[in-house]
Amino acid sequence: MSEHILTVNAGSSSLKFALFATSRLDCVAIGMIDGLGTDPNFVMKDGKGQKLLSDPLEGERFVADHHGALSTVLDALARQFPQARIAAVGHRVVHGGMAYSAPVLVDDEILEQLTGFVPLAPLHQPHNLSGIRAAQVAFPGVPQVACFDTAFHRAHPFVNDAFALPRSLYDEGVRRYGFHGLSYEYVTGRLAEIAPFHAKGRVIICHLGSGASMCAIRNGYSIASTMGFSALDGLPMGTRPGQIDPGVLLYLMDQKGMDAKAISDLLYKSSGLKGLSGISNDMRDLEASDDPRAKQAIDYFVFRLRREIGAMAAVLGGLDAIVFCGGIGENSRLIRESALEAMEWIGIELDLDRNREGADVISSDRSRVRAFIIRTNEELMIARHTQQLLTPQAAIHLVNAQA
CA angle centred on 222, ends 221 and 223, rounded to 5°: 110
Give strand ranges (E) for 22-96.
Answer: 26-34, 41-46, 51-55, 84-93
Strands 84-93 and 2-10: parallel
Q: Which pLDDT value is given to residue 231?
A: 92
- What is the rounded CA–CA span in Å between residue 22 and residue 89? 11
Residue 349: predicted pLDDT:
98
CA atoms of 41 and 53, how far apart (whole Å): 10
The confidence band for 391, taking pLDDT boundaries of 50, 70 and 90, is low
- 60-96, pLDDT tens digit by residue? 889 988 889 989 999 999 999 999 999 999 999 999 9
Q: How far is CA 388 from the centre of its chain?
A: 21
Please name every residue paired with 30 in a beta bridge, in sequence order, or none if there are none.
Answer: 18, 45
Distance (Å, rounded) from C-alpha 90 to C-alpha 145? 5
pLDDT category of residue 403 using cuts at 50, 70 and 90: very low
- Cα atoms in the 13 Å half-sphere on the side-chain side of 159: 1
pLDDT at 37: 85
Distances, alpha carbon 135 to alpha carbons 91, 209, 354, 379, 390, in Å: 9, 27, 43, 16, 16
Percent of the chain clearing pLDDT 70 (strictly above): 97
Q: What is the pLDDT of residue 123?
A: 82
CA dist., res. 237 & res. 249, Å (int): 18
- Residue 111's nearest CA partner among 86, 144, 157, 82 is 144
CATH topology of domain 196-378: Nucleotidyltransferase; domain 5 (3.30.420)
Residues 6+ apart with CB under 8 A from 248: none
Task: Return d(Cα 126, Cα 112) in angstroms, integer.
Answer: 12
Task: Provide the pLDDT confidence category of residue 32 given band limits of 50, 70 and 90.
Answer: very high
Of 36-45, 221-230, 331-340, where does mean pLDDT reach its minimum? 36-45
Residue 1 binned pLDDT confidence (cut-offs 50, 70, 90): confident
Which of 53-57, 60-64, 259-263, 303-307 has the least mean pLDDT? 60-64
Instruction: Verify whether residue 291 is a known catalytic residue.
Output: no
> Residues 268-289: pLDDT tens digits?
999 999 999 999 999 999 999 9
pLDDT computed for residue 402 by the predictor: 37
Burial class (CB in 10 A: 0-12, 13-18, 19+), 133: middle
Would you give the DSSP letter of residue 271?
-
Tell me, what's the pLDDT at 124?
87
Domain with CATH 3.30.420.40 in the chain: 2-148, 196-378
pLDDT bucket at 397, cuts 50 / 70 / 90: very low
How confident is the model over 115-132, as pLDDT tens digits? 999 988 888 899 899 999
C-alpha span between 107 and 181 (Å, rounded): 23
**CA–CA separation, 69 vs 111, rounded Å?**
21
For residue 278, with 0-12 CB atoms within 10 Å meaning exposed, 13-18 middle and 19 or more buried, which class applies? exposed
What is 2-148's CATH number, 3.30.420.40, 3.40.50.620, 2.40.50.140, 3.30.1360.170?
Answer: 3.30.420.40
Confidence of residue 395 (pLDDT cuts 50, 70, 90): very low
Annotated active-site residue in 26, 107, 108, 149? 149
Closest CA to 332 of 368, 288, 290: 288
Q: Say what the pLDDT of residue 67 is.
A: 86
3 state SS of 317: coil
